[in-house]
Amino acid sequence: MLAPAGSPRPIVERLNAEVNQLLQLPEVRERYAAQNLETFPPASPERFAQFIRAELAKWAKVAHEAKIEAPQ
C-alpha cells in the first residue's frame, strides 16, 4: 500500500501497522498464495521505501537495456 508523498507520519505509521497486521491473517495469506502472490514479513515504512527504490532502479535498468520507452 502506498500513500501520497508528504503524508503525516502518524498516518503512515498507522497504515503500516494495520497492513502488517492484515498480512498476517491466515485468510489473507491463503488468498495471496492462491494468486501466486507473496507477503513479506512486517516491515517499517522506511524498509518498504527502500524496497520500492531498489525495485524502481532494477526495472529502470531492465527497461533501458531493452530500449523500452514509455509512450508519449
> Do the domain assignments include residue 2?
no
Q: pTM, whole model, 2 decimals? A: 0.71
> Does residue 37 lie in a domain region?
yes
Contact between residue 16 and residue 51 where contact means Cβ atoms under 8 Å apart:
no
Q: What is the pLDDT of residue 1?
A: 82
For the chain, what is the domain count?
1
Residue 23 sits in which domain range? Answer: 9-65
Q: Is 17 left (phi over 0), alpha (psi -120 to 50) or beta?
A: alpha
The size of the chain, in residues, is 72
In a domain, 1, yes or no: no
C-alpha torsion angle, residues 35, 36, 38, 39 (rounded to 10): 20
Q: pLDDT tens per residue, the chain (72 residues)?
A: 889 999 999 999 999 999 999 999 999 999 999 999 988 778 899 998 999 999 999 999 999 999 999 888
Flag whether 39 is in a domain: yes
Does the residue 43 lie in any domain? yes
pLDDT of residue 43: 84
58 falls within a domain: yes
